[in-house]
A and B are shown apart, each in its own frame.
Chain A
């Protein structure tokens, strides 16, 4: 797990207090891409190592591929939403 940002708790409080919202369309993309990839990673791990089995190279590569998908999605989302 990543270390929390300095003042992360305050950032969440500010978001709540100022009612900062993410557009529903952005949530739709997040839900579809990140949640499905995370679910898949969970299923791959849950179907093997939770039962004490060794993760196969094939499944390890599948996890890697889902992680790359998440990274690619975040990059696309960043390009579409960040304004410098």
Chain B
């Protein structure tokens, strides 16, 4: 039986970023879904139930990534959430971790860093599923 694909929810208000992240992880055999706002992310998360979520903290409209994280963890406590941001604000990062984020990445991150982090979590999910 073919192995079920891991669902990855990508959240960034820059559509172009979402598009390229989607290309990268589709090639790695993930099912990738994109949301360009925190509100859309929460609603999509309810529907698709992603196992991994990549959340940009700074989003222009509506709720920010931290609030989106809080709501997503409220619905899906087991979802592994990675925060992506361009600042290394320790207070914000601690807050994200206290809500349940597994880790955070600072922009401009490289694709290698991004892929390595997501693959590590995907292996963790596979181990837990056995």
**A interface, CB within 8 angstroms of B:** 27, 31-32, 34-36, 38-40, 42-47, 50-51, 62
**Using Cβ atoms and an 8 Å threshold, which residues of chain B touch A27?**
87
Please determine whether A40 and B86 come into contact, CB atoms closer than 8 angstroms.
no
Q: Bound state CA distance, A27 and B20, in angstroms?
A: 26
Please determine whether B109 and A46 come into contact, CB atoms closer than 8 angstroms.
no
Tally the A-B contacts, defined by beta carbons under 8 Å.
Answer: 52
**Using Cβ atoms and an 8 Å threshold, which residues of chain A touch B107?**
31, 35-36, 38-39
Please determine whether A43 and B86 come into contact, CB atoms closer than 8 angstroms.
no
Judged by DSSP, the binding face of A is helix
A-B pairs with beta carbons under 8 Å apart, 13 shown: A27-B87, A31-B87, A36-B14, A38-B107, A40-B20, A42-B108, A43-B17, A46-B24, A46-B114, A47-B23, A47-B24, A47-B27, A50-B112
Asked if B126 CB lies within 8 Å of chain A CBs, one says: no
B106 and chain A: residue at smallest CB distance = A35
Please determine whether A46 and B86 come into contact, CB atoms closer than 8 angstroms.
no
Judged by DSSP, the binding face of B is helix
Q: Bound state CA distance, A57 and B109, in angstroms?
A: 24
Which residue of B21, B27, B87 contacts A43 across the interface (Cβ within 8 Å)? B21
Interface centre among B14, B16, B114 (most CB of A within 10 A): B16
Q: Bound state CA distance, A20 and B58, in angstroms?
A: 27
**Using Cβ atoms and an 8 Å threshold, which residues of chain B touch A39?**
17, 107-109
Which residue of B14, B16, B112 contacts A46 across the interface (Cβ within 8 Å)? B112
**Using Cβ atoms and an 8 Å threshold, which residues of chain A touch B109?**
39, 42
Q: Bound state CA distance, A81 and B16, in angstroms?
A: 30
